[in-house]
Structure 1
Amino acid sequence: MTDQLSLDPVSAAIAECGLVAVLRAPTADGFSAVADVLVAAGVTALEVTLTSQGALEAISGLRRQLPDSVVIGAGTILTDEDAKAAVDAGATFLVSPVSGLGPQPVPFYPGAFSPTEVFAAHRAGAPLIKLFPAGGLGPGYLKDVRGPLPEVRIMPTGGIGLDDIAKWLSAGAVAVGVGGPLIGDAATGGSLTALAARARHAVDAVSYARS
């Protein structure tokens, strides 16, 4: 596990959890119920993507609904205007598939793909860097990148299945972002019982990788 002492409290909480649940659906109507199930299973870091209709309202609602120990962020942040709206709604961290935004009042995790992009984000002060899209690269890529860049804190996201979580963490990921394979169709009327089982599987994978 990464040294959390030098991380801000929100990033440290994400590193402690080891998993960020990415909530993405056509609308955010089902996110409240999904969040309750995830938190009950031990997932304490949630990312609400702005591509979901009603995302900002959902962030505000989840902030009121969930314990303070749960960190709630906004994803798919593409502009400074997106960032401001998300922070105003209550987001405590911001995630983007790209880099290049200005300074933000909460932790900002930019997207990166190549070692050059990863290092540039690190030098710019990003506490965590979103390796995206990570699925096609594989955990071996992360291990290779961290060879010459051991100080970078990387959060792979995109195309990561539940059975991949432990592999990525063992390769040096601080945390992993998991969307569809974890959430499934639970946000659009699917089984919350099945979601609970997937969430427990994901939390167990984090524990296994760190045991």
Structure 2
Amino acid sequence: MTDQLSLDPVSAAIAGCGLVAVLRAPTADGFSAVADVLVAAGVTALEVTLTSRGALEAISGLRRQLPDTVVVGAGTILTEEDAKAAVGAGATFLVSPVSGLGPQPVPYYPGAFSPTEVHAAHRAGAPLIKLFPAGGLGPGYLKDLRGPLPDVKIMPTGGIGLDDIAKWLTAGAVAVGVGGPLIGDAATGGSLTALAARARHAVDAVSYARS
């Protein structure tokens, strides 16, 4: 179990949930309904990607809609302008597939792939580091990475299926980011009932890994 006492409140909330639902679609129109289903199933960390049209409005809306116990962040942050706009919309954390942004007023989770990149992000003060794209690497990579870097808190994202969640957490991940395999087509008119089943599966996987 991750030492949450060493984390800021938002990062600790993400670590506590163990799962970040990554909301990505052509438009953010369906994110409100999707978020309600996810939260009802026990997913309390949501990342709205800026590649979704209307993402900033969706972040603001979700912050008003959801309980304070749910953290809502912005993903695919590539520039300082993206970061400023997302924070202005109410994002409580920022996630990027790359690194390089300066200090931010909310927790910022840069992307990294190699040990050198992970170590650099850690030294720069990132509370969590997004291992991306993680799917092709596998949980064994994380286990090997944490050997020489045991204090680095890693959040694998990209290409992680529902049946992979427990494996990554067991390998030492603080949390995992899951997009398509969890959200499916629910944000574009697909079944919310099916989404609820997938969300329960994901939450159960976290519980199983930590039992």
CA drift of 1:86 comes to 0.2
Distance in 2 (alpha carbons) for counterparts of 1:4 and 1:16: 8
CA drift of 1:174 comes to 0.1
The 3-state SS of whatever aligns with 2:149 is coil
Distance in 2 (alpha carbons) for counterparts of 1:123 and 1:103: 13
Deviation by residue 1:18-62 (Cα, 9 ceiling, x = unmatched): 000000000000000000000000000000000000000000000
Q: Runs of 4+ in structure 1 displaced over 6 angstroms?
A: none
Distance in 2 (alpha carbons) for counterparts of 1:5 and 1:171: 21
Q: Which residue of the partner structure matches residue 185 of structure 1?
A: 185
Residue identity (%):
94
CA drift of 1:116 comes to 0.4
Q: TM-score, normalised by structure 1?
A: 1.00
Distance in 2 (alpha carbons) for counterparts of 1:38 and 1:12: 19
CA drift of 1:185 comes to 0.0
Distance in 2 (alpha carbons) for counterparts of 1:19 and 1:4: 15
Distance in 2 (alpha carbons) for counterparts of 1:74 and 1:96: 9
Q: TM-score, normalised by structure 2?
A: 1.00
Deviation by residue 1:70-127 (Cα, 9 ceiling, x = unmatched): 0000000000000000000000000000000111000000000000000000000000
Distance in 2 (alpha carbons) for counterparts of 1:109 and 1:185: 26
CA drift of 1:5 comes to 0.3
Q: Which residue of the partner structure matches residue 137 of structure 1?
A: 137
Distance in 2 (alpha carbons) for counterparts of 1:127 and 1:28: 28
CA drift of 1:201 comes to 0.0
Gaps of 5+ in 1: none
How do residues 1-211 of structure 1 correspond to structure 2 at under 5 angstroms? 1-211=1-211
Gaps of 5+ in 2: none
Distance in 1 (alpha carbons) for counterparts of 2:26 and 2:63: 21
Distance in 1 (alpha carbons) for counterparts of 2:22 and 2:6: 25
CA drift of 1:6 comes to 1.0
The 3-state SS of whatever aligns with 2:140 is helix
What is the Cα-based RMSD across aligned positions, in Å? 0.2
